[in-house]
Amino acid sequence: MYNDPTSAAAAGLGSGALAYTGAGDIFWFGLAGFALMAAGMAVARIMPRREAEAGSSE
């Protein structure tokens, strides 16, 4: 089970096919964009917010 090379070969073949066709670039750019967006949302979530004072019209 653990010494069976077919699963490793299948994984390598799949990622190699993505790299060869150029579709891998779109996937990695999409993944990088999602990671940057998620990181930005996480930072924005932990940043303290400035609350408006009661009675202030500014």
Q: pLDDT tens across 8-56, in order? A: 666 666 666 655 666 678 888 999 999 999 999 999 999 888 876 666 5
The number of domains in the chain is 1
Q: Does residue 32 lie in a domain region? A: yes
Range of the domain at 28: 5-46
- Note whether residue 54 is domain-resident: no
End-to-end Cα distance, the chain: 68
Give the model's pLDDT for residue 49: 81
- What per-residue confidence (pLDDT) applies to 38? 97
Name the token pair of 53.
Answer: 């004072």
Q: For position 9, what pLDDT does the model report?
A: 65
